[in-house]
Amino acid sequence: MNTTQEIEHLACLIIGSGPAGYTAAIYAARADLKPVVYTGIVPGGQLTQTTEVDNFPGYPNGITGPVMMEDLRAQAERFGTEVRFGYVTKVDFSTSGGVHTVEIDAVKTVTADTVIIATGATAKWLGLPSEEKYNGFGVSACAVCDGFFFKGQDVAIVGAGDTAAEEATYLAKLCKTVHMFVRRDEFRASKAMVNRVLNTPNIVVYFNTETEEILGDGQGVTGVRVIDTKSQESQVIDVTGFFVAIGHKPNTELFQGVLDMDETGYLITQPNVTATNIPGVFACGDVQDHVYRQAITAAGTGCMAALEAERYLASKGE
């Protein structure tokens, strides 16, 4: 840690600026904790890469992800939250007296009585240039978020696990046909989920199939070119939506060896609360939720984390 300058001390530090982080900031600021939010390298989080948000309460006509995050930021700032662009590069939660030390951008050190971690998770992508080009214009990593926009249309989904199977069956209720590409010769999903997929008549499963390119007209997706890895034959399938369901990676590298996490890297919080294994350190949003991964559930846990931070400070008489 850099100790050459005067170290700033905070009552409440929030790491991350998605729905969880900003909601935590709103509640913490209203409790007069004078929270400081460090945005991370993607201010606003995953929602800034989402075009339309139709399932967040309070927006009857829908809202774009970036505008919604600006609204949340403005609301947090209205109550006195200080939002700073910066990236946490190191943490030390072992300090005596319950004060936590955090390094920002490898140059600045702050200490905090409470830390709320809302660093989120990042969707895993195939890595195709065409996937990046049409991300938000027919390409999505969240069927629950965006499936509605493809009602009655033909779509494709790539993935082999429980999430992919669940999202495929969800899409099948909305879409005409769901083309499901499994890259190996079998599913990784549980038997129950596989049976559900195979018993859904409008899901067409392609095994040993890799995506070569997502096709489009410059405005949106028009199809996908895939290759059978056994026969080496390519084919083009007409679709208007392409969903990637190959998993998410929680943004927790910073906390490895410091906070308890599961085998895939999600932070483990105590039952029914957001407290981690370190007193005064709380985790909310997608960084600790691999089940729902919705903006509204992230916001809910952000509220919980702030309320718990306030109670933690009160219990210490601060």
Select the more confidently predicted residue: 158 or 6.
Answer: 158
Domain 8-122+248-315 and domain 125-244 have a common topology = yes
The yes-or-no verdict on residue 3 having pLDDT over 50 is: no
The yes-or-no verdict on residue 248 having pLDDT over 90 is: no
The yes-or-no verdict on residue 146 having pLDDT over 50 is: yes
Say whether 284 is catalytic.
no
Query: Which among 246, 210, 249, 239 is positioned nearest to 227, based on CA atoms?
Result: 210
Q: Which fold has domain 125-244?
A: FAD/NAD(P)-binding domain (3.50.50)
Say whether 145 is catalytic.
yes
**Contact assessment for residue 17 and residue 48, using Cβ atoms and an 8 Å cutoff:** no
CB atoms within 10 A of CB 66: 16
Which pLDDT band, with edges at 50, 70 and 90, does 178 fall under?
Answer: very high
Q: Nearest 5 degrees, angle CA 36-CA 120-CA 305?
A: 55
pLDDT of the residue at 318 = 52
Domain 8-122+248-315 has CATH 3.40.640.10: no
**Would you kindly state where each structural domain of the chain is located, as residue ranges?**
8-122+248-315, 125-244
Catalytic hit among 12, 113, 146, 303: 146
Separation of alpha carbons 137 and 50, rounded Å: 9
pLDDT of the residue at 138 = 96
DSSP-assigned states of every residue in 92-151:
E---GGG-EEEEETTTEEEEEEEEEE---EEE-----HHHHHTBTTTEES-HHHHGGGGT
Query: Which among 210, 214, 213, 234 is positioned nearest to 222, based on CA atoms?
Result: 214
Separation of alpha carbons 203 and 94, rounded Å: 51
Catalytic hit among 12, 145, 284, 303: 145
DSSP-assigned states of every residue in 33-79:
---EEE--SSTTGGGGG-SEE-SSTT-TT-EEHHHHHHHHHHHHHHT
pLDDT of the residue at 206 = 97
The yes-or-no verdict on residue 41 having pLDDT over 90 is: no
pLDDT of the residue at 43 = 84
pLDDT of the residue at 163 = 85
Q: What is the mean pLDDT of the chain?
A: 93
Separation of alpha carbons 123 and 173, rounded Å: 23
Q: Nearest 5 degrees, angle CA 208-CA 247-CA 176?
A: 65
Catalytic hit among 12, 113, 142, 286: 142
- Work out whether strand 121-123 and strand 234-238 pair parallel, antiparallel, or are unpaired: unpaired
CB atoms within 10 A of CB 198: 12
State how far Cα 270 lies from the chain centre. Answer: 20
Across 188-217, average pLDDT: 95
The yes-or-no verdict on residue 159 having pLDDT over 50 is: yes
The yes-or-no verdict on residue 230 having pLDDT over 50 is: yes
Across 206-211, average pLDDT: 97
What are the pLDDT digits (tens) for 78-88? 999 999 999 99
Say whether 54 is catalytic.
no
The yes-or-no verdict on residue 165 having pLDDT over 70 is: yes
What are the pLDDT digits (tens) for 47-99? 876 667 888 999 999 898 899 999 999 999 999 999 999 999 999 998 666 89
Residues 6 or more apart whose CB falls under 8 angstroms from that of 199 comprise none
pTM as predicted: 0.80
Residues 6 or more apart whose CB falls under 8 angstroms from that of 236 comprise 215, 223, 224, 225
**Contact assessment for residue 37 and residue 21, using Cβ atoms and an 8 Å cutoff:** yes
Identify the residue whose tokens are 């998410």: 248
